[in-house]
Amino acid sequence: MSSEALEEGARRFLIGLSEALGVRLSKILDIYFSVTPRRARILEIVEEGGRVVGLRMAVESGSRRGVWHYVSVGPYGAKCTCEANTIRGLICSHIVAALITWNMVSLIKTGEPVDVKSLGWLRRAGQK
């Protein structure tokens, strides 16, 4: 996959995510740019039948340096160890970071993006 196709696939996913969550694109972009190797680490990539169907990540807290949250995302839902998700049940920024990473990994490994519309749980959940 060319870098142009990769950028286009990422761009479309970010827009789709913004629409699905009803959140400004600028907020999604802030999270996108915060996903750096120093602040986010992939722990496990879940593959099934040649597709990337989810992943597990550690994402550093935006407000508390050195505090890491553990996130998993997949077709049926997402979980994060932060308060916003465990206590308030919200789609936190860590889950958004993991979704963005999942899409990038899928594009790089298989050339296929993650279909935001297939993630029904995204729309049902609240947003921080």
In the complex, the residues that contact Zn ion under the rule CB under 5 A are 69, 80, 82, 85, 92, 94
Q: Cβ distance 35 to 100 under 8 Å?
A: yes
| Minimum distance of Zn ion from residue 84's CB (angstroms) | 6
Nearer to Zn ion, 92 or 107 (CB): 92
Q: Using CA atoms, how far apart are residues 99 and 58, in angstroms rounded to an integer?
A: 13
Q: Which is nearer to Zn ion, 19 or 70 (CB)?
A: 70
Bridge partners of residue 54, in order along the sequence: 46
Give me the least distance between CB of 123 and Zn ion, in Å please: 18
Query: Which among 91, 89, 71 has a CA at the least distance from the CA of 80?
Result: 71
Q: Which CB atom, from 72 or from 103, has the smaller least distance to Zn ion?
A: 72
